[in-house]
Amino acid sequence: MKTTHLNQLIQEVKWMSKKRSQNYVAAKSQVSTAVISKIVNGDLSQISDSLLNKIQSNLKIDPNWNIAITDNLEGLYNCCRDAQLDSLLLCISDKAGKGKTNAFEYYDRKNNNVFHIECQKTWTQKVFVKQLLITLGKKPQGTTWQMLEEFDRAIRNIENGLLIIDQADHLKEPQFNMIMDFSNDYKGRLGIIISGVKHLERKMRAGVLKEKGSYDELESRFGRTYIELNPVSLKDVTKICFANGVENPSQIQTIYDTCGGDLRRVKRDVQKIKIGQRPRVKLAS
């Protein structure tokens, strides 16, 4: 691992351990508490690069990218804040590439008692609960019911928590039933944000129409309102480019004109420019 990346990782582990706890960081990183303790104390002699890369990946540290405060990041930050302070259930459903996940990660870093989970299509109900515990900094073990009891104990020990269920369009009916239970069980204690692409709204409305599971009651809880984000603007793209070392107005305009409102494409094009500025290796013939 590069020295600059290693130093960034060490600072992140120290900061997160101070903000929450070493146990939390260990569970989130899926390594032992002893490993995190060694990093905090500056003892890296017996920690391999592969283990450091695992921690970097699980903590979602991107050493090559800087965050810019776009309009949607600011808007979602305030949505998260409202949900956390007033224990609201909100649903955000909009197309990919508008910066939803990036905004949730930013809010998570800046605030306490925030638990951000990114769902996957292959998750069973048990895997979903397991990932919830990891997000809370708890070691997942036992049956689904035993893990739910551990989750319950953890939530009841905090005040003004926020659970962000990202990419929720990947979830199935049993997980949505569980979210409905969370909304009932933790009133006044836990805000919940369900977020995904436009398919999330279609899935919810189809469930309501077919009278399946808890869809109707769940949709009622967030006022049957699906929050959409603003279109990506030239101002947003300019902020992102400047934050990441691209300041040429012509290049920024081209990136904006060709991104199709997708910030992932903006990131790719910024990286492409920076790669083009890198000296090429000349090999001996």
Q: Please state the domain count of the chain.
A: 3
Whether 81 and 109 share a structural domain: yes
Question: What pLDDT, in 10s, does the model give residues 169-219?
Answer: 999 999 999 999 999 999 999 999 999 999 999 999 999 999 998 899 999
Whether 200 and 251 share a structural domain: no
| DSSP 8-state symbol, 112 | S
Closest CA to 8 of 47, 66, 50, 72: 66
When pLDDT is averaged across residues 3-31 and rounded to a whole number, the result is: 86
Closest CA to 72 of 249, 240, 274, 241: 240
In three-state secondary structure terms, 106 is helix
Q: Quick check: is 162 in a domain?
A: yes
| Bridge partners, 93 (sequence order) | 196
Local confidence band at 21 (pLDDT 50, 70, 90 cut-offs): confident
Question: What pLDDT, in 10s, does the model give residues 246-258?
Answer: 999 999 999 999 9
Q: Quick check: is 64 in a domain?
A: no
Of 58, 82, 99, which closes a domain? 58
Q: Quick check: is 63 in a domain?
A: no
Q: Quick check: is 66 in a domain?
A: no
pLDDT of residue 81: 97
Q: What is the CATH number of the domain that holds 148?
A: 3.40.50.300
Domain extent for 14: 3-58
Question: What pLDDT, in 10s, does the model give residues 72-102?
Answer: 999 999 999 999 999 999 999 999 999 999 9
Whether 165 and 218 share a structural domain: yes
Local confidence band at 262 (pLDDT 50, 70, 90 cut-offs): very high
Whether 176 and 252 share a structural domain: no
Q: Quick check: is 214 in a domain?
A: yes
CA–CA separation, 223 vs 236, rounded Å?
Answer: 30
Whether 150 and 109 share a structural domain: yes
5 vs 71: which has the higher pLDDT: 71
Q: Are 140 and 127 contacting, i.e. CB atoms less than 8 angstroms apart?
A: no
pLDDT of residue 91: 97
Whether 103 and 223 share a structural domain: yes
Question: What pLDDT, in 10s, does the model give residues 223-253?
Answer: 999 999 999 999 999 999 999 999 999 999 9
pLDDT of residue 125: 94
Question: What pLDDT, in 10s, does the model give residues 110-149?
Answer: 898 999 999 999 999 999 999 999 999 888 999 999 999 9
pLDDT of residue 277: 87
Tokens found for residue 283? 């090999």
Q: Quick check: is 31 in a domain?
A: yes
pLDDT of residue 285: 78
Whether 102 and 241 share a structural domain: no
